[in-house]
Amino acid sequence: MITADIKKYTARIVDKLVKNHPLHLVLPSGGELHIDRPVPYLLVYRIPPHGEDAFTSALGKTESAYLVAPDTAETPVTPVTRAIASTMADKFGGFMLLEVWLSDRVDAPAFTIHISQKSALAVAEKMQAELQRIQIHQAQAIETKLEKGKRIPSPPYYDGIFDAEEARQSEIIVIGLEIAPIYINQQTGKPYPLFLRELREGFVKALRKSFFEFVRVKTSYSAAHFEMLGTTELHELVWDIDNKLAEYSNQFDFLLLVTPINAQEAWQQFSKSKFRKNPVFHYRPMPIDPELIKRKLYNLPIEDISDPTIAYLFRDKRKEIDRMLNMLGEREKADFLYSSQQLFGIIDEHLLEIARAILVAAPPQPSPAAKEMLDAATFAGMAKMELEYLKKQYAAVSTAVRVRDDVEGVMVSRGTLNISSRYSISKDRAFSLLQHEVGTHVVTYYNGMAQPFKLFYVGVPGYEQLQEGLAVLSEYMTGGLTNQRMRILAARVVAVHHMLAGNSFVDTFDLLTSKYAFGSDTAFHIAMRVYRGGGLTKDAVYLKGLLNVIEYIKQGKDISQLLIGKIRQDYLPIIEELTHRRLLKPLTLRPKFLEKPYIDKIAEIKKAGTVFKMLK
């Protein structure tokens, strides 16, 4: 019997749904009802009388509409569920109720889908196909069975929420999903954590695609992609961890801490030794204790985040920060190089062959006639103008430019351009370099800052490859990618490979000067960048990133989406998902190199672009 209190409570829920209000309620029974926007489906887990299962009750919490609660005589949830289903069926012309429960059958397959309505068959078959696609590392294939019965499916310990005639009249389909505890260690009674993580990731995608099949065919709800059905609201824990990861990442500047502060003096000493004695580099004092930050990192409860996509992003970033901290603790030690390879990857034969071919196809050229050179102060003034252009698009952009004695060349750190006080550049290449540093590195920093997640301006793991590929592309599109610049990018790959083969700084310097005819000062700086810290393989990513971006353009894809933040290329499906879920915003800043006339170069690359056609 439904009490007056339950009727009033249910009426308030229906009223909110009719008014398109989100629902985040703790039910009288202590359960949860979460609907972040009205949708024509609901995942229900009625907690069994004997208790709650960690997976079955948590898996639905990644969805935009779920109910998790016990269903007792004192605090029934069946009336609430029926009211939600009927209201949303009237609104959208149909409704799907998916009830999940844990199987107690010894011989049960991983998933058993139960239906009794013909109208549910197509969606059930879609669900079966998607669940069978779940792949667990080093585990057997997931077995999924579809069973057709005569009664509306429900757990064995509860009655059905609807009877068949009611469901038919209201255009409601009910699907039962029985889940076997294949993720539980039968000896300890506890889950296998990594198995459970992979299972949850695959399960969520399978559910979302199944809901989408129903929504697309049976309702008036508008959704162009299955990820648009994902939750658009995240738990406060997500933002807490995002803030903490950014905080820990910002406690140190990795590149500054592994870049020598005595490069000029080291060059002079190297010259005095007639290039026979390996230079000695000095670095900034370490401002942090890596072990203390690592302890804080692994105290972050990422495992408590039920959204698998967000949890993956955070685990990936934590792993990168961990590896960077390892490298800082191993600076100028043998293990630095091993950690560098883990972080930035190794050089494959294909990349090495292309680098060597560029050095042959673009031989050294005689020194050009004297060009007009710009000093650091003049170049800084040009940079300020470029930043003002961006600030008109997004007020948060800082126009600060730092001219410093303790940096080499030009670099962007946390959205700010740093220029060596000794720096000079030819006037005809200055604009292209600004597109590299400001149009790419600064733009992606502020585009990332405009996103809800701090991760997108701090940088996702491995973002450097795509960043540098885009940055070099911007030089080409604005006419400033010279053969000498391409030779340097190729030489960096060759130098990293030579270092990894066990050769010394002097050996690599000799290779660059004797075999590839680089000037002694250029060869020194290429080698310095590669051997800094104890062996930094990062410099190989410039050419590799450029090759990947060229291939991306040739596939006809939109290059502007690569500028949404400091991302890496294989994160694009994640970007797409989060955009569909309205958890990411459209691009805020658009650099000059993506405007006319420079953007016209994209058509040339799309038609028949190769890295060799970029040579002059």
Q: Does the pLDDT at position 369 exceed 70?
A: no
According to DSSP, the residues that pair with 42 across neighbouring strands are: 97
Q: Does the pLDDT at position 240 exceed 80?
A: yes
Binning pLDDT at 50, 70 and 90, where does residue 52 land? low
Higher-scoring residue by pLDDT: 57, 397: 397
Q: Does the pLDDT at position 1 exceed 50?
A: no
Closest CA to 82 of 183, 17, 161: 161
**What is the pTM assigned to this prediction?**
0.84
597 cis-preceded (ω within 30 degrees of 0): yes
Q: Beta strands 410-413 and 144-148: pairing type?
A: unpaired
List Cβ neighbours of 267 (8 Å cut-off, separation of 6 or more).
Answer: 279, 521, 524, 525, 528
Binning pLDDT at 50, 70 and 90, where does residue 49 land? confident
Return phi, psi of residue 191, to 5°. Answer: -70, 155
Return the pLDDT at 519.
94
Return the pLDDT at 365.
79
Q: Does the pLDDT at position 279 exceed 70?
A: yes
- What would the DSSP string read from start to end of 526-584? HHHHHHGGG--GGGGHHHHHHHHHHHHHHTT--GGGGGSSS--GGGHHHHHHHHHTT-S
Return the pLDDT at 463.
93
Residues of the chain with CATH 3.40.630: 4-233
Q: Does the pLDDT at position 396 exceed 70?
A: yes
What fold is seen in the domain 4-233?
Aminopeptidase (3.40.630)
Binning pLDDT at 50, 70 and 90, where does residue 367 land? low
User: How many other C-beta atoms can be found within 10 angstroms of the C-beta atom of residue 394?
Assistant: 14
Give me the percent of the chain exceeding a pLDDT of 70. 97
The tens digit of pLDDT for each residue in 397-454 reads 999 999 998 887 898 988 999 999 999 999 989 999 999 999 999 999 999 999 999 9
Binning pLDDT at 50, 70 and 90, where does residue 57 land? low
The tens digit of pLDDT for each residue in 463-481 reads 999 999 999 999 999 999 9
The tens digit of pLDDT for each residue in 116-133 reads 999 999 999 999 999 999
Binning pLDDT at 50, 70 and 90, where does residue 368 land? low
Return the pLDDT at 357.
97
Question: Mean pLDDT for the chain?
Answer: 92
Return the pLDDT at 318.
96
Helix axes 376-391, 427-436, angle to 10 degrees: 40
Q: What is the mean pLDDT of residues 249-265?
A: 92
* CB-CB contact of 238 with 453 (8 Å): no
Q: What is the mean pLDDT of residues 76-80?
A: 89
The tens digit of pLDDT for each residue in 567-599 reads 999 899 999 999 999 999 999 999 999 999 999
Q: In sequence order, which ranges of 93-163 are alpha helices (DSSP H)?
A: 121-132
According to DSSP, the residues that pair with 184 across neighbouring strands are: 191
